[in-house]
């Protein structure tokens, strides 16, 4: 995985939660359900953007560095869809603003290792790609932008 800026697409062998994938991109038994970018767009307040690059973001989504539903729309979407099947639920922790699947995070990471793969494209300003990709593709796990 590159340590550069770009967009990443998440493909799944098993479809979580019985969602409708009839309009989704499908290739060789894999279905594209989510796209993301790293880093995000420049901040409106002029402060530097998060310098995170594709390698760190993809690893976080896959469960590295204490990943949780709170820091990943992808993990939150998958966990909500798979919680009953895999035996966990979304919970508020700490002050009540942070959300996690607690012990279910490891179960979710294992499910992703067995059922997900990722592709990427490098781009120095990936935020210009994200909206175009979300508008052009049926991406049911991109609930924040659908």
Q: How far apart are the first and last CA of the chain?
A: 27
pTM: 0.88
Q: Is the pLDDT of residue 26 over 70?
A: yes
Token pair 């991406």 is found at 139
The answer to whether residue 76 sits within a structural domain is yes
Across the range 127-133, mean pLDDT stands at 93
Instruction: Give domain status of residue 142, yes or no.
Output: no
Average pLDDT over residues 132-141: 95
Tell me which residue range forms the domain holding 65: 6-136
Report pLDDT for 144.
64
Q: Is 80 exposed, middle or buried (0-12, 13-18, 19+ CB in 10 A)?
A: middle
pLDDT tens for 75-95 read 889 999 999 999 888 777 777
Domain count within the chain: 1
Output phi, psi for 119, to 5 deg.
Answer: -125, 165
Residues 6+ apart with CB under 8 A from 115: 12, 13, 14
pLDDT band at 65 (very low <50, low <70, confident <90, very high): low
């Amino acid at each position: 995985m590159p340590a550069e800026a770009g967009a990443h697409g998440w493909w799944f062998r098993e479809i979580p939660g019985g969602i409708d994938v009839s309009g989704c991109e499908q290739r060789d038994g894999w279905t594209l359900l989510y796209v993301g970018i790293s880093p995000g767009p420049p901040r409106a307040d002029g402060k530097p953007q998060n310098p995170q690059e594709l390698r760190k973001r993809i690893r976080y989504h896959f469960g590295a560095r204490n990943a949780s539903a709170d820091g990943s729309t992808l993990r939150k979407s998958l966990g909500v869809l798979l919680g009953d099947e895999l035996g966990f639920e979304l919970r508020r922790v700490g002050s009540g603003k942070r959300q996690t699947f607690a012990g279910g995070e490891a179960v979710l990471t294992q499910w992703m290792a067995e059922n997900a793969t990722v592709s990427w494209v490098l781009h120095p300003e990936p935020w210009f790609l994200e909206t175009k990709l979300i508008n052009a593709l049926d991406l049911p796990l991109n609930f924040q932008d659908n």
